[in-house]
A and B are shown apart, each in its own frame.
Chain A
Amino acid sequence: MLKRALAIVAILIIGYWLAQGLSQVPFGQDKMLVGKYYLEHVKEQTGAVNAVTAVVVNYRGFDTLGEVTVLFIASTGVGALLWRKKRKRTAKTKGSVVLTTGSKLLFPFIMLFGMYIFIHGHLTPGGGFPGGATIATAFLLMYMAFTIYEIPHKGFEVTEGFAGMGYVLVGLIGLAIGGYFLFDWIWQTWHLGTSNVGRLFSGGFIPVIYTIIGIKVGTELSGIIDNMLKEEVKE
């Protein structure tokens, strides 16, 4: 009881302090400094109309590389923590026919929609991470609907590694052509798609990188799901 009261008092003090600090920050007013530059130059500098993905992949590409690394380390860490010699799915109750058939029918649609999200990252809201998460939900659906379903491990882990390497490779090609890592060579050097900004074949290397990231995130989250759903088999 005392602990709770103390916690509430401490939290109220922290909340008052935070509110004090935030009362100096006006809500809904234009506070852009760098953001203005990004918005005004995003079309001719990157070819993307979605300013957020342009910032994430192009202007601040190192953030995304670090983010992908964090996700990869988390997936590896989950695998390492839950590693056992023999592991199996331990689901006992089978799903109903409606559930299994429905999941089978839904699976390709969810996959298609996930791919749509990450391929159109430079035009519509979304990008690699939401698209990859959508693909992972498709595999989660299969895991939940079937008691024996397992992702094809060999293909999955290899694809994940190759996707990560592909991202670094695109960056290294930029280093070779333009002089710095993650240089947008498709847009700046090849001028590919300069005439059709706002259509699918534009946006420099954003669609390429987001396709790679989408595949990587999708396989990675599916791998995490796979690791968490299996349990050790006692002999």
Chain B
Amino acid sequence: MISAYYFGAIALILIGLYAVLVKKNLLKILIGLSIMETGVNLLLISIGYVSGKSAPILSESITPSQAVDPIPQALVLTAIVIGVATTAMALSVAIILYEKYGTLNIEEVRRLRG
């Protein structure tokens, strides 16, 4: 049986993918991308979890043997920032597309018609 965290992460990735595949509004596609990103981050974090252990900030009560894996957390810290950066870029492209074409429907934007 698959863990609830893995299931939730996969579900988030798939919901985001569904939005990207099916939706016509550009902003909804960007929301889908953000949801996918969240799912990937949740998956990475939950792979690093060790049950019963605490955050990797060492102190008198938390020795190295009582902390979870710090590497996925460092990786996700990077991934979140990159996600924010790409989302900001994509949103400004969306602003420009709306100014130019007057619509956010990707089928009406001429050059994106597939």
Contact = CB atoms under 8 A, between A and B. Distances in A.
Interface in B1-48: 2-3, 5-7, 10-11, 13-14, 17-18, 21-22, 43, 46-48
Given A7-B18, A43-B58, A71-B85, A56 B74 contact: yes
Given A11-B14, A23-B2, A27-B46, A39 B96 contact: no
A28 B81 contact: no
B6 A22 contact: yes
B50 A32 contact: yes
Interface stretch (A13-21, A100-108, A156-164, A180-188): A13-21
Interface in B92-114: 92-93, 95-96
Interface of chain A: mostly helix, strand, loop or mixed: helix
A45 interface: no
A213 B98 CA distance: 34
B6 A52 contact: no
B81 A129 contact: yes
A194 interface: no
B100 to A, nearest CB: 12
Interface residues on B, range: 35 or more
Contacts of B58: 39, 42-43, 49-51
30 contacts: A3-B22, A7-B21, A10-B21, A11-B18, A11-B21, A14-B17, A19-B7, A27-B46, A28-B50, A28-B51, A31-B48, A39-B70, A40-B64, A50-B57, A50-B58, A51-B58, A55-B70, A55-B74, A70-B85, A71-B82, A73-B85, A74-B88, A78-B89, A81-B93, A82-B92, A127-B77, A129-B77, A198-B59, A221-B84, A228-B88
Given A78-B89, A125-B55, A227-B92, 4 more contacts: A11-B21, A15-B11, A50-B56, A228-B91
